[in-house]
Structure 1
Amino acid sequence: MSVHSVPRGDLSRPAASRTVRRSAVVAGGILISRLTGLVRVVVVGAVLGPTYFANAFVATNMVPNLTYSVIAGPALALVIVPTVVQVLARGGPDVAIRLLGRVSGFLLIASAGLAGLMALVAPVLGWCLSLGISQPSLREQAEQTTTVLVLLVAPQVMLYTLAALGAAAQQAHERFALAAVAPAAENVVLIAAVVVVGVRWGAGLDFADISAGPMVVLGLGSTLAVAVHACLQLFGASRVGLPVRPSLRWRSDPELAAVLRRLRSSISLPLTRSVALYVLLGVASTVPGGVIVVQNAYTVMQVPTALGARAVSTVVLPGLSAAAARDDHSGFAASWRQALSLASITSLPPLLLLTVLAHPLASMLANGQMHSDKLIDQLAACLAVIAVAQFAASVHMVGLDALFARLNTRCPRLASYALLATSLTVTATSLLVPDDQSRLVVLCASLLAGELAGAVTVIFGLRAALRPEGWIDHAQIARAFLACISMVPIVAFGRWFLSVGAISQAGYVIVLGACGLAAIAVYAGAVRISWIGRCP
């Protein structure tokens, strides 16, 4: 299915199957990236150890990505992909390449300015990231070392911008595999740099014994890792016929001005989420171990949404954009119903698994000093709430994509404000309850409430745009719920077995994983049977 030929009316079985296959490819790429990211965290911890220098290295590597979010962040693809799709439909590849070049030229100048500002305030960042060190001499060394690290990673702001533009160009041309898996290359290169430091200079280095060698290898190695990621994304964009060629001829381009207006009005999406999360974690810190509990729950929530709804929305966004560009109302509605159905189908198994297996999963996640009955109970209750939150987040995510496909940024902006206001209200309410399990559960409920508020806002915005077409495929979602029931015996047996058996930690993980995989396999089979029964 090309970006210029989305089928009208209800989507055929081949078109739906193609969307499922492509979503599986994206999910596979995301899974590889997440797994290498997990290895990266493990290797950094193993080589650098629990040291102040490890804190500084990890923190400084987060700064460029956070800075990049100021000019575009996750909203970049939501704005660029529909625009490129519509320009391709109207003017062809040459016009799309010219627009992409002007957008990239402007964003590179903006990102270069932010990278320069980041370099200028490097001493301030070094001072802020060293405040927790009590020894004056060690703190002074930490400030100097952290400042150098910030200078070494500052160019990453521009590299992340290029990587995002390359990925968006591939997505607009319905090529997803390389864009999804490319972040894994960044993780692999950084792992290699950390291993080199461990082999050459030893493990557990701290500011007192750090030298220029390991500092430069880690700083330049992390920047090289992002450069490799960006090069892969740019190669992918060039391969699909949409090379990213930055141009400075953007001052009088009305199309570019419209793109930048949509980008500017979309910045609230990542910012509101970040503010809500930071406030939530701040309140969680009032409970001993609360930040770790809430962070674990939030991380668990991110996995199914990334592998499910994010993969689906990545695949359907070009088709939705093409239908909107042609004024194909029925085709757009059919694509939206398919996206909502697939997002629901991929979100239902995690909902059941996290709800029923919340306590065993919490027991597995709580290790070392965290392995106490009270903290495990807290985390289990949080996971049960997160199970519903990830379902709401999936609906919210695909709804945002559909709105951006119509070049609608007003409703997503309102949804982000609704998410922030609702989340902050529930978070503030948590301060009224005792600082025990109840407060942490209410904090996780603030995540659920925020996602629900955002999902309801985008659904109402879409319903108005879809009339008189139907906005939901009731039959397919009902079949998915029925298929989900087929998982219950396996999940219930796994829950019972883990509660009565004396199993080692390794055996616990194996049984929990086997139970989850078996339940998902049964669910997938039931969904497939119902899908075949529905299609001629």
Structure 2
Amino acid sequence: MSAPPPADGTAPEDATSARGALPDDATPTDATPAGTSAAQRDAVGRHASIMAAGTAVSRVLGFVRGALLVYAIGVTGNAADAFALGNKVPNILYLLIAGGVLNAVLVPAVVRAYRRPDGHEYVNRLLTFGTALLAALAAVLTLAAPVLVELYSNFRPSVTALAVLFAYWCLPQVLFYGIYTLVGQVLNARGSFGPFMWAPVVNNVIAIAGLGAFLAVNGTYEQNGGGIDDPTAWTGAQVALLAGTATLGVVAQALVLFVPLYRMGFRYRPRWGLRGMGLRTTGRVAGWTFAGLVVGQLGVLVVTRVATAVRDAGGDAAGLAGNAVYDYAFLIFMLPHSLVTVSLLTALFTGLSARAAADDDAGVRGDLSFGLRTVGIFTVFAASVIMVLAFPLVRVLQPGASAQDVSAIVPVVVAMLVGLPAFGAWSMAQRVFYAYEDAKSMVPIQVGMALVVVAGALLSQAVLAPRYWVAGAGLSMSVSYLLGAVVALALLRRRIGGVDGARVLRLHARAVVAAGVAAAAGWAVVHAIGGLHDAGPARSLVVAAVVGVLMTGLYVGLLRLMRVSELTDLARPLLRRIRRAA
């Protein structure tokens, strides 16, 4: 949800859009696989840095939004769980029905379209058809809100009724998430990557304003003495203010993308009709992508039902990790993935699609190797540092949460972070399959991953205390990512003649050693300081900053001693910006 050629789309980039907005003027060397020359690495880094900047600002505002939400409705109570589900259902359904399909097929389709003389008309037809389909879909889903909430929850009836009210206000988001994806992917395919990552900033600003108004009218959760947790006490005005402004933010996030699209010379004209759009191949890709997403969402469904059953099973005890805790933990888990992995993969995907369309397996292999190594060097360290600093980081990000609430969130965060490096590798492998317009090969993998999540979540519910059910589900997700990455890369190895496996494994082994040493040192310092369970946000921030700098210095120093060149690829865009600022 959440980066430089010009990010504002001030001029069309037709010359670069067909080859993914990446320069192809350098000759690969033995040390640089085909498709990832030094010039290309710089271009990918520039694109990724602009997207990462937008994502970083959006994520900071997202945590401000989350902190205000905790002040308003708490984190482990009935109202928090009800709103978390009501606002999450449109995200789940959009991902299931449209989001993944659009992301999988749009960039390859638009890259190919702009090689045709009627490419502009093709995109107009695509936008017209997609928007109409999404509008109908959003209307049907909104009417079905009671059924959907029942499907995804195990709440008591009064909490279910409140969640349904939230869902009525939030489900129209499906339409605007779809428009955001349609327009954003057209921009990406034309080499304008920044707006797609910066648009969520507008969403968060509006949502923060809405929460500020909610707090001004209703006071904080603590001021209400937890009375906000009574689901029967909510008024229509309260529901409209909280959920309505959340939806208004998504509307703005979608519509703001039309500004850079217009500025880069694109003029939208409604065009109806599907004839000549080449949807047969695209439809097959979309169909298999949808099948894979259905399978994956079965796991999400089971995890959500387990999470929503925690409060009743735990007897309303304080500090239980339920549905809202799962959402906050997942937000922290996704932070490093969104900042670097998504930005890098988005920048690579257009080029991957162009190389796959040209049957350039060597180029795809080089891009895959570069992506796996660059993502790996970051995710291994990010997982280790957030695990060590989980408690102070959660305290800083959720200053309104009690010590019990923070203690409920931390185990879930750690369980999810175990799988962060594998999640990055799985995401990279997915992009390669999509670049070849081959979603079919991923479906058996996704079936296996879903079975792992379902089995892990149900096993946790059967053998663990209710407060650990969500952490157990998070750990099963980590195992599923590892399974998906290993099997997907094995399939790609046969398809494209290798994945540069030895080099990728050497990089990950060195990163794990360096991160392990840094984590041991950081853990020792944190435990020597002690007393963090009772520490306030300010002290927690100081501890996180000091230990974070220590761990980063050790990690970077050890990688340099081991001559890990990928560290330079990851840091080059940041260093360039620092030099320019100086």
Structure 2 CA distance for aligned equivalents of residues 384 and 61 of structure 1 = 24
The answer for the alignment partner of 1:402 in structure 2 is 432
Residue number in structure 1 paired with 2:18 = 4
Give 1:79's aligned residue: 105
Distance apart, 1:76 and its partner CA? 1.6
Please say if residues 206 and 248 of structure 2, whose CA atoms lie closer than 8 Å, have aligned partners that are also in contact.
yes
Q: 2: distance between equivalents of 1:527 and 1:271?
A: 41
- In structure 2, relative to structure 1, the CA distance for the partners of 1:523 and 1:275 (3 Å cut) is same
CA deviations 1:408-431 (Å, max 9, x no partner) are 111222221121123333444446
How many Å apart are 1:386 and its aligned residue? 3.5
Q: Is the 8 A contact 2:514 2:559 kept in 1?
A: no
From 95, 109, 121, the equivalent of 1:69 is: 95
Q: Which residue of 2 aligns with 1:464?
A: 494
Q: How far 1:349 moved relative to its partner?
A: 0.5
The answer (yes or no) to whether the contact 1:103–1:246 under 8 Å persists in 2 is no
Separation in structure 2 between the aligned mates of residue 281 and residue 125 of structure 1, nearest angstrom = 12
Shift of 1:146: 5.7
Aligned to 1:344: 376
Shift of 1:396: 0.4
SS at match of 2:192: coil
Query: For the residues of structure 1 that align with 2:260 and 2:194, how far apart are their CA atoms?
Result: 9
Q: Deviations over 1:360-386 (max 9, x none)?
A: 7789889433477xx69xx55x65553
Q: 8 Å contact 2:415–2:472 — kept in the other structure?
A: no
- Please report the TM-score for the alignment, with normalisation by the length of structure 2: 0.76
Q: CA deviation at 1:348?
A: 1.6
Matched AA of 2:40: A
For 2:205, the equivalent position in structure 1 comes to: 188
How far is 1:229 from its partner? 0.7
SS in 1 for 2:257: helix
Q: Say which is worse superposed, 215-224 or 66-75, in terms of deviation.
A: 215-224
Q: Is the 8 A contact 1:389 1:447 kept in 2?
A: yes
Distance 1:533 1:343 in 2: 10
Count how many residue pairs are aligned between Structure 1 and Structure 2: 517
| In 1, Cα distance between equivalents of 2:217 and 2:471 | 46
Q: How does 1:78-157 map to 2 (within 5 A)?
A: 78-88=104-114, 90-91=115-116, 94-95=118-119, 97-121=120-144, 132=156, 147=165, 152-157=169-174
1:482 to 503, 510, 525: 510
1:25 and 2:50 matched: yes
Preserved contact between residue 416 and residue 454 of structure 1 (Cα < 8 Å): yes
Q: Output the amino acid matched with 2:256.
A: L
CA distance change for structure 1 residues 392 and 371 in 2, over 3 Å: closer, same or farther?
Answer: closer
- Mapped partners of 2:384, 2:239: distance in 1: 46
Question: What pairs with 1:367-406 in structure 2 (closer than 5 Å)?
Answer: 367-370=402-405, 380=411, 385-406=415-436
Residues 318 and 278 from structure 1, CA distance in 2 versus in 1: closer, same or farther, beyond 3 angstroms?
A: same
Name 1:494's counterpart in structure 2: 522
- Deviation of 1:304 after TM superposition, in Å, equals 2.4
RMSD: 4.0
Is contact 2:154–2:305 with CA below 8 Å preserved after alignment? no
* Within-5 A mapping of 1:215-254: 217-218=241-242, 220-242=244-266, 245-250=269-274, 252-254=275-277
Which amino acid in the other structure matches residue 71 of structure 1? I
Go from structure 1 to structure 2 and tell me whether the alpha carbon gap of 1:415 and 1:459 turns closer, same or farther (over 3 Å shift): same
AA of the residue aligned to 1:368: A
List aligned pairs for 1:129-528, cutoff 5 A. Answer: 132=156, 147=165, 152-199=169-216, 217-218=241-242, 220-242=244-266, 245-250=269-274, 252-283=275-306, 285=309, 288=314, 289-291=320-322, 298-354=330-386, 367-370=402-405, 380=411, 385-430=415-460, 433=463, 435=465, 443-467=473-497, 470-472=498-500, 474-475=502-503, 478-479=506-507, 481-482=509-510, 485-486=513-514, 490-503=518-531, 504-505=535-536, 506-521=538-553, 523-524=555-556
TM-score by length of 1: 0.81
Structure 1: segments with no counterpart, 5+ residues: none
What SS does the corresponding residue of 2:437 show, helix, strand or coil? Answer: coil
Q: Secondary structure at the match of 2:99?
A: coil
1:267 is paired with a residue of what secondary structure? helix
* Separation in structure 2 between the aligned mates of residue 100 and residue 370 of structure 1, nearest angstrom: 48
Deviation at 1:326, TM superposition (A): 1.7
Change (3 A) 1:191 1:361: closer
Q: CA deviation at 1:110?
A: 2.1
- Residues 316 and 521 (structure 1), Cα distance of their counterparts in 2 relative to 1, 3 Å cut: farther
Question: Matched residues in 2 for 1:387 and 1:397: separation?
Answer: 15
CA distance in 2 between counterparts of 1:390 and 1:46 reads 29
**What amino acid does structure 1 have at the position aligned with 2:107?**
V
What is the CA-CA distance between 1:267 and the residue it aligns to? 1.9
Deviation at 1:455, TM superposition (A): 1.2
Partner Cα distance (1:49, 1:245) in 2: 46
Between stretches 319-328 and 497-506, larger displacement belongs to 497-506
Q: Which amino acid aligns with 2:371?
A: A
Shift of the alpha carbon at 1:300? 3.8
Please list the CA deviations of residues 161-204 of structure 1 after superposition, one character each: whole Å capped at 9, or x if unmatched. Answer: 11111111121122222111211211111222332344457666
Cα distance in 2, alignment partners of residues 492 and 122 from structure 1: 48
Instruction: Check conservation: 2:306, 2:470, Cα contact below 8 A.
Output: no
Q: Measure the CA separation in 2 of the matches of 1:342 and 1:171.
A: 21
Q: 1:355 to 1:264 in 2, by over 3 A?
A: same
Shift of 1:249: 1.3
Q: Which amino acid is 1:309 matched to?
A: T
Which is worse superposed, 489-498 or 235-244?
235-244
Letter of the structure 1 residue corresponding to residue 104 of structure 2: L
